[in-house]
Chain A
């Protein structure tokens, strides 16, 4: 018994040493650019659980000074980007069941085979920071979606609510836009650094975790949103996906036709929605996006001797948005 205990203790010590080694290994080993070692994920190491990933990009400290912006953001879909109203989470699962598990070369026979790479088709936009996690997080997300769906089937509201909250703990929050994804051209402008937030000005930032404020060169440019709001199929992936295509439409059907406004102009500024970036579900945005005119009149239509009255209905729909409606 004592020997067995000793052996067990030894194994634990080895395991802890192994963890220590893991933490010292760069999260993005092999990246060519200079400065990636200063990023949040390189400093912290890859997350192993949903809780760790949520903590890695925890924006909780922003609330004290930016409560109004936080409250606006909390109303947006960004605040529940892998859950939305439940349909996004369900679509993650469908992608596994009807996609990954059916494709002969995906390497996925069951949800246990899921890796981060498998989920990035969805997560590239719905949870880009999943790239900063280990495969265990991808599997935990799938298990949580399954738990949520099972709870719904069993009408267990408490369990469904708990699973939903776990899924909502991963989202597109302050640090995703104002740090992780705040620099698009990292070889030109450098990698986003841990301890810095990127916004509209430079200076000190009263947050012990993020004491430096840096001016982002893209925060008010459409490319900031275009990182996720899509060009079309994601050709860089081994198995391309296609979800949102708004940025592609914006570039080639709006700007190409003389459009000058940015995503932020309409979705944040003109709409006065700020960080509650909505689209059609906001009444003002819906009104502004599509002009809808209907004209009707009637007359007696005559086919030789047969007279049949008819109504004519003319509908004019003008898309005032900077992209096709709908997209996809």
Chain B
């Protein structure tokens, strides 16, 4: 129901000029921007995930029904030496947690 990816890496500049990213070492000669994890620093990320709901008509009103009161959240940090999941991906860290919301309300 929710999937989001963020990429952390120095973005190499093709031949050290212009706005194109280089790919192979032979054409990389600069860095356009660096979104990698800098040494000694903490990178903070925040994701806001809405629980699944369904809007139903009840008389004249529309009522939002909650489909699930619990979500399983899986966060993975992958290292992709060649930039994609097809080539030698490495799962660096993983966290699986459950988030519950109350079912009774006030």
Contact = CB atoms under 8 A, between A and B. Distances in A.
Contacts of B87: 87
Contacts of A220: none
Counting chain A residues whose Cβ lies within 8 A of the other chain, the interface size class is 35 or more
A318 B43 CA distance: 6
A93 B71 CA distance: 47
Interface stretch (A32-40, A158-166, A208-216, A290-298): A290-298
Interface of B: 8-10, 12, 16, 22, 24-31, 34, 36-51, 53, 64, 66, 69, 71, 73, 75, 77, 79, 81-82, 87-88, 90, 92-93, 95, 97-101, 105
A123 to B, nearest CB: 12
A326 B9 contact: yes
Interface stretch (A130-138, A170-178, A304-312): A304-312
Contacts of A85: 88
Given A91-B25, A242-B30, A298 B101 contact: yes
Interface stretch (A1-9, A23-31, A94-102): A94-102
A51 interface: no
Given A259-B39, A296-B73, A317-B45, A328 B28 contact: yes
B88 A87 contact: yes
Contact of B28 (A122, A242, A281): A242
B92 A327 contact: no
Interface of A: 85, 87, 91, 94-95, 98-100, 121-122, 232-233, 239-243, 245, 249-250, 253-254, 257-259, 280-281, 286, 290-292, 294, 296-301, 306-328
Contacts of B41: 318-319
A310 B12 CA distance: 37
Contacts of A250: 39
A292 B36 contact: no
B35 to A, nearest CB: 10
Nearest to A313: B47
Given A241-B28, A318-B41, A319-B39, A328 B90 contact: no
A interface, over-half SS = mixed
A328 B27 CA distance: 12
Given A292-B95, A309-B50, A326-B9, A319 B40 contact: yes
A311 B73 contact: yes
A286 to B, nearest CB: 6
Contacts of B97: 294, 296
Contacts of A328: 9-10, 12, 28
A313 B49 contact: yes
B38 A311 contact: no
Given A240-B29, A315-B75, A298 B42 contact: no
B16 to A, nearest CB: 6
Contact of A257 (B40, B79, B81): B40
A308 B62 CA distance: 13
